[in-house]
Amino acid sequence: GAFAEETGFRLVFTVHGIILAQFVTTVGIATRLIKAAMDEIPHRYEEAAKTLGASPSRAFFTVTLPLCRRGIVASAILTWAKALGEFGATITVAGSMAMKTETLPVAIFMRLASADIEGTAVLVLILIGIGLGLLYVVRIFAKGGRNVSRKTA
């Protein structure tokens, strides 16, 4: 903290603090989701690319990464959704300065603390709408872009 303050890079009560807090709380989830996506790719594909003359890094970038791209994108979407709802670390590092370091969960907390029930309800509905929208996008993406709704005959 002291080094960052001396170099002029402020983290506490700034947008950079929000980004740092959300990154620290979600990097583990993102890593696990991406690892799960990569574990689904059979190693024989990389081995086949290596036998055809590809270096290990070239095999990774031309075989493994394209095969798990949907899992990586789904991981990014779900991690962003988790970061969007982050409260504890964000309010601890960045505080709750209105219109400066106020995220949606912090705004909900502040409206509720000031007994603004209508404002709280609107913000909660916005957060729920964003969450449901993201889940729908992930569901479509996981199905490979096919139509998710079932047509009845």
User: Is residue 130 scored above 50 in pLDDT?
Assistant: yes
Instruction: Between 45 and 20, name the one with better pLDDT.
Output: 45
Cβ atoms 101, 15 nearer than 8 A = yes
For 23, 60, 95, 99, 131, the CA distances from 9, given in Å and listed in that order, are 17, 36, 17, 21, 32
Question: What's the mean pLDDT in 55-67?
Answer: 92
Cβ atoms 110, 54 nearer than 8 A = no
What is the reported pTM?
0.68
Nearest in space to 42 (alpha carbons), one of 73, 68, 19: 68
When the pLDDT of each residue in the chain is averaged and rounded to a whole number, the result is 83
Question: What's the mean pLDDT in 51-68?
Answer: 92
Question: What's the mean pLDDT in 125-148?
Answer: 77
